[in-house]
A and B are shown apart, each in its own frame.
Chain A
């Protein structure tokens, strides 16, 4: 398909999603002009808001980078949420236990978070490779376990002195806070980590033998196996790398956003990243603008709630409409291509 056709399909998808979104806004009696205005102003109206938007972008980029790895290996890593939580738990352990300079503590938090997420991902992988448990079910199960673990820690061993509340742990010491730009909440270090992770994933998948074999495993595991690729090993590696990167999202959430461990530390960003990666069609480069757009909507929905009294879930509805529209149009486009190819084959046979 040429670029013009692709643009036409994309424009069609955007039009559908706009029409449906406007319908929903009309349904909830939202003022259309103000809602649209706040979409931009809510995310980019002030320096503080731009910073906050970027701080939503960070976990979305990291979770998306994680999913690009596992999707490339043909894996539906629904367990990404649990891996974010595991990373946050590991980073929180470091923040609570390690005394030292900010550089030392943050370095260990990043390493710890990666290892925590990787181990949680590996659990899903082992269940899949050794136990024959589909990664979707294993991932969902381990997401529940991760939630249970974090609630247990927050209300139990890591609770505030004399307190048993699911509200969160005591804030970390200042050495475990990601440094921010003066007066803002945005952390350049968190942004750097997200970009390095994404670029590393893109490089790994497109420029290395490992990436080639991983993608081969994802495209056709049986064929890859016959070509001598140890597919089980590659699947496990995908879970380790993907889980580790997801764990980094947990690190930034704990160290740069909340500065403590809270039960909702993942913020649902893992699930959102699945939609982002689907829209990006598993390509790392496209993740960047799409994740930014989703971060924009997330920030806007906060403003919609604050300024217009709209429901906090409205942003999620619009995101869902957008994704469904694009997937529908792309599905139509693939179906049409398939039919055209069938016709060509049929004519040739005649």
Chain B
């Protein structure tokens, strides 16, 4: 009798057990080609014999093919190892839902066992783990993107970790351009931002988006700021984790149901553009602006106004080369676009690719906006700016410092939605 009961319950138990680890997409590691060799690094603990191919360890928070944040990093890593003819060691889907029992220090240990010369942890969610790993392997070059542990002026400086660096792109510019594109194209003046979790980074990015939208709404189109609605809702993580976060598909549809005609995505995945594509196919006049990955508009090209994206290749290459040359030390780099051509894959860390949904007239206006950002004639982080609660952030004519922008404590006046 007991065994019959077991037989009845086992499938349910197995299914429940599988919930902790199963997922839809294909997983894990690849080791990419290593045809020739490069000079061996002098870094201790990892490289012992020369010559050997350079090995780059990459820890991704999502799947490498998410058409978003993780894919952008994966392609950056691929770019670097192709240039160096090295190897890429990738572990993807390192997040609480897909890999609940794998920790960053475990992954780092394993990558070092495999001979990784440089290890990059690519999510802010990996902060505690990479700090722990860096303390355990103080001689191994590592980078946390985005982090601030190597920023001597920052709030979380770790002087005791001389080989844990940070880099991140100045996506604030990409977001300003996205905000401007949304405002130019919006008929209703109702823009919504699909936010991930709330922290300094996401507050400064959504605020940059708002600044771009408001500028183009008022200064380019000559409309009243009070007619522009800018709403933000946060799902709780960088992408959907059923049971743990709000479902971005549901949030996107709620935005549209409330009259939003442009959604700007701040999450790692493509739900906003996918839902906008469905609505547009059904005849609604709506658009979306995805995020992170250059190819994200392909999900629904005609509903896409453009995508601000990371082009990590040049930055990865530069850091890998510094390891190879034995010159790597912990540094903090906040890298802007190459304004001569923000879509140059060999030089610009931040890009913006216009989408098919953007009208040609608006595309021209957007180009003017980009040019004014690039030549320095327009700095949107200039006062007067107030915080959401009405308190003063920047006085009239005062430009924000890097520290003030990086550690953005709140949202700006004119934005709707929680700030913490």
Which residues 1-24 in B have Cβ within 8 Å of A in the complex?
Answer: 3-4, 6-7, 9-10, 13-14, 16-23
Interface of A is mostly: helix
Contact of B236 among A166, A298, A303 (CB under 8 A): A166
CA separation between A166 and B125, bound complex, in Å? 9
Contact between chains at A316 and B17 (CB < 8 Å): yes
Q: Which residues of A line the B interface, CB within 8 A?
A: 46, 48, 52, 56, 76, 78, 136, 147, 151, 155, 160, 162-168, 171, 185, 257-260, 262-264, 267-268, 271-272, 274-275, 278, 298, 302-303, 305-313, 315-316, 319-320, 323-324, 327, 330-331, 334
Does B164 lie at the interface of the complex (its beta carbon under 8 Å from any beta carbon of A)? no
A312–B93 CB distance below 8 A:
yes
* Residue B97 lies at the interface, judged by CB distance under 8 Å to chain A: yes
Q: A162-B420, A164-B198, A167-B237 are in contact. List 9 more A-B contacts (CB 8 A).
A: A52-B106, A151-B243, A160-B199, A166-B245, A305-B99, A311-B27, A316-B17, A316-B18, A327-B6
Residues of A within 8 A of B197 (CB): 155, 163-167
Contacts of A76 in B (CB 8 A): 9
What are 22 sample pairs from A and B whose C-beta atoms fall under 8 A apart? A52-B106, A78-B16, A136-B9, A151-B243, A151-B244, A164-B199, A165-B125, A165-B236, A166-B241, A167-B197, A264-B100, A268-B100, A271-B19, A278-B10, A306-B29, A306-B110, A308-B29, A309-B30, A310-B28, A312-B98, A319-B17, A331-B6
Q: How far is the CB of A157 from chain B (nearest CB, A)?
A: 12
A143 to B198, CA, bound (A): 26
Q: Is B105 an interface residue (CB 8 A)?
A: yes
Which B residue sits closest to A308, measured CB to CB?
B29
Q: Is the CB of A267 within 8 A of B101?
A: yes
* Cβ of B406 to closest chain A Cβ, rounded Å: 12
Query: Does B96 lie at the interface of the complex (its beta carbon under 8 Å from any beta carbon of A)?
Result: yes
B29: contacting residue among A164, A305, A316, CB under 8 A: A305
Is B254 among interface residues, defined by CB-CB distance under 8 A? no
Size class of the contact patch on chain B = 35 or more
Specify which chain B residues have a CB less than 8 angstroms from the CB of A306 in the assembled complex: 28-29, 91, 107, 110
Given A163-B197, A305-B29, is A268 in contact with B7 using a C-beta cutoff of 8 Å?
no
Instruction: Find A268's partner among B20, B30, B243 (CB 8 Å cutoff).
Output: B20
Asked if B79 lies at the interface with its beta carbon under 8 angstroms from chain A, I say: no
Interface centre among A46, A162, A320, A334 (most CB of B within 10 A): A162
Contacts of A303 in B (CB 8 A): 110
Chain B: minimal CB distance from A261 (Å): 11
Whether the Cβ atoms of A257 and B103 lie closer than 8 Å is yes
